[in-house]
Amino acid sequence: MTEIVKDINETGNNRLVIKELCVQFGSFVAVDHVNLMVEDGETRVIIGPNGAGKTTLLDLITGKTKATGGTVEFRGHSLIGRDTSHICRSCHVGRKFQGPNVFNELTVIENMRLALMGNDNFLGYLFRRQSREEAEKIHRCLDAVNLLDYENVKAVSLSHGQKQWLEIGMVILQDARLVVLDEPTAGMTAEETFKTGEMIKKNLADKTVLVIEHDMDFVRQIAQKVTVLHMGKVLAEGTFDEVENDPKVIQVYLKQDDGERGGVEECLN
């Protein structure tokens, strides 16, 4: 175990490489021979209709679901077969799940402290004194997600958007090198969504980032490249403009009945 941690810390490139990744639930193939390479420092957005396999793909990367085939490597090391906490701590992978996942009865700052300790370390959280460096780091991260004025507010009292920001703050705090965010703007207003995009661009600029999204303005705002998943397979990949104008994407997503081309988002939401 120590050996692996050492290796992962010392190898250089924060590149995520996925080859022929598959998962089958009974006879249903949810992720079907997916190949994906996200470069060091790149922000990649994955789009696709409901049920396309987007969340399942993140589950496979983060060890929540075991692959039935294929490989996932980050920084040159396999993530396959490792448990979620190992992938998070030793492989430097941070994840924000679909929908807010914060402790409602804890305050904003308590949620952040807990994130810093590792969410399963309640005893450490209760008994360990926080260093000045840790307090300053939490302060910086709360500032980054516009929650500095809310540090003593219970999470339950935050708006839906603010809960999402708190969770993004918790991910930023963990110093992950690969950050995966599942629908970070779901339920947000257009203004909150835009702010979230700027937040990601500013605070995760040096990370390798994989984001699942449905809001195409947001996708345009943050994505260096876009991958379209459809029925568990990669349907298209390229820049935002390339994907939006790809005939395969148009054929699959755009409404055909009125003969007019709407936005991709019309068909994804």
Ligand X SMILES: Nc1ncnc2c1ncn2[C@@H]1O[C@H](COP(=O)(O)OP(=O)(O)OP(=O)(O)O)[C@@H](O)[C@H]1O
Q: Which is nearer to ligand X, 53 or 197 (CB)?
A: 53
Draw the binding track, 2-31, toward ligand X (x: CB under 6 A; -: no contact).
-----------------------x--x-x-
Q: Does 63 bind ligand X (CB under 6 A)?
A: no
Q: Which is nearer to Mg ion, 54 or 113 (CB)?
A: 54
Q: Which does 203 bind (CB under 5 to 8 A by kind): ligand X, Mg ion, none?
A: none
CA distance 250 to 261: 8
Q: Does 95 bind ligand X (CB under 6 A)?
A: no
Whether the CB-CB separation of 199 and 206 falls below 8 Å is answered with: no
Query: For residue 154, what are the CA distances in angstroms to 102, 103, 113, 133, 151?
Result: 10, 9, 14, 23, 8
Nearest distance from C-beta of residue 79 to ligand X, angstroms: 18
Cα-to-chain-centroid distance, residue 133: 26
Q: Applying CB under 6 A, which of residues 14, 43, 56, 185 lies at the interface with ligand X?
A: 56
Residues in the chain: 269
DSSP codes, 6-50: HHHHH-----EEEEEEEEEETTEEEEEEEEEEE-TT-EEEEE--T
Nearest distance from C-beta of residue 190 to Mg ion, angstroms: 21
Strand pairing partners for 122? none
Q: Does 55 bind ligand X (CB under 6 A)?
A: yes
Nearest distance from C-beta of residue 252 to Mg ion, angstroms: 17
Task: Check residue 149 and report its DSSP letter.
Answer: G
> Dmax of the chain from CA atoms?
64
CA distance 190 to 28: 36
Q: Which is nearer to ligand X, 147 or 182 (CB)?
A: 182
Q: Which does 225 bind (CB under 5 to 8 A by kind): Mg ion, ligand X, none?
A: none
Q: Applying CB under 6 A, which of residues 34, 43, 54, 95 lies at the interface with ligand X?
A: 54
Token pair 């840790």: residue: 134
Nearest distance from C-beta of residue 198 to Mg ion, angstroms: 24
Q: Which does 30 bind (CB under 5 to 8 A by kind): Mg ion, ligand X, none?
A: ligand X
Q: Which residues bind ligand X (CB under 6 A)?
A: 25, 28, 30, 48, 50-56, 98
